Amino acid sequence: MDELPDCPKCHSDCVYEDGLMLVCPVCAHEWSKDQVAIDSDAKPVTRDSNSNILEDGDDVVVIKDLKVKGSSSVVKVSTKVKNIRLVDGDHDIDCKIPGIGQMGLKSIFVKKG
């Protein structure tokens, strides 16, 4: 039996074949065997709350009040953040927020502005 690739979405090794598709039971991601070869060279894509693709230098708008950890400050809804930088990790975006300073944001709490 040949070695099955890890899940490209959650990197789990619990992948199984279902007909022509590969399925990950951990995150329910399905993909074809042919797609593995194509996706192995692709860069990870970061998307905002509306599934728009984000890139370095984009401007975004915060869609939810966010508490700043270790401070009593709050990032208010509709705060505009300019010139974002995408990074790896659980916080996808590094940015400088006016009045607060440098901070990391998750892409699910912003929309492209």
Contacts made by residues 62-67, CB under 8 angstroms, sequence distance 24+:
62/105, 62/109, 62/110, 63/109, 63/110, 63/111, 64/109, 66/105, 66/109
pTM of the model: 0.62
Residue 66 lies in a domain: yes
Q: Is residue 48 part of a domain?
A: no
> What's phi and psi for 46, nearest 5 deg?
-105, 130
Residue 93 lies in a domain: yes
Residue 16 within any structural domain of the chain: yes
Residue pLDDT tens, the chain, 113 long? 468 888 888 888 899 998 889 999 988 889 887 776 555 555 678 999 999 999 999 999 999 999 999 999 999 999 999 999 999 888 999 999 988 999 999 999 999 98
Q: Do both 106 and 66 map to the same domain? A: yes
Q: How many domains does the chain have?
A: 2
Distance of alpha carbon 74 from alpha carbon 58, whole angstroms? 22
pLDDT for res 23: 93
* CATH number of the domain that residue 12 is part of: 2.20.25.10
Q: Domain limits at 101?
A: 59-112
CATH of the domain at 67: 2.30.30.40
- Asked if the structure places residue 34 within a domain, the reply is yes
